[in-house]
Amino acid sequence: MRLDKRMRLICSAAWALEAILCAMPAGAEAPKLESVEAVLTRYQQALGGVEAIRAVQSETRRAEVESSAAPGKTKILFYAKPFRQFVKITRPDGREITTGFDGAVSWTVTAEAASIDHDTPVESDRRDSDLQYALHQTDYFEKLEFAGVTDFEGCRCYWLRGTTHWGKNNNQFYDTETGLLAGYRFQQDARNSVAVTTLQFKDYKSFGGPLVATRLITRTGDAVRTISILSVSYEPVADSLFELPAPVRALLKS
| Better pLDDT: 26 or 94 | 94
The yes-or-no verdict on residue 11 having pLDDT over 60 is no
- Tell me the CA distances in angstroms from 52 to 19, 100, 133, 230, one per residue in order: 20, 25, 13, 20
pLDDT value, residue 250: 96
> If phi over 0 gives left and psi between -120 and 50 gives alpha, with beta otherwise, what is residue 46?
alpha
Note the pLDDT of residue 69. Answer: 84
Say if CB 99 and CB 3 are below 8 A apart: no
Per-residue pLDDT tens digits for 86-125: 999 999 999 999 999 999 999 999 999 999 999 999 999 9
Domains of the chain: 3-12+32-253 (2.50.20.10)
Give me the mean pLDDT over the 4-22 stretch: 37
Which residue from 109, 146, 69 is spatially nearest to 117, judged by alpha carbons? Answer: 109
pLDDT of 51 strictly over 90:
yes
Name residue 25's amino acid. Answer: P
pLDDT attached to residue 29: 58
Residue 91's pLDDT is: 95
CA triple 244-250-254, angle to 5 deg:
130
pLDDT tens digits, 53-92: 999 999 999 999 999 888 899 999 999 999 999 999 999 9
Whether pLDDT at 4 is above 60? no
Gap between the Cα atoms of 147 and 144, Å rounded: 9
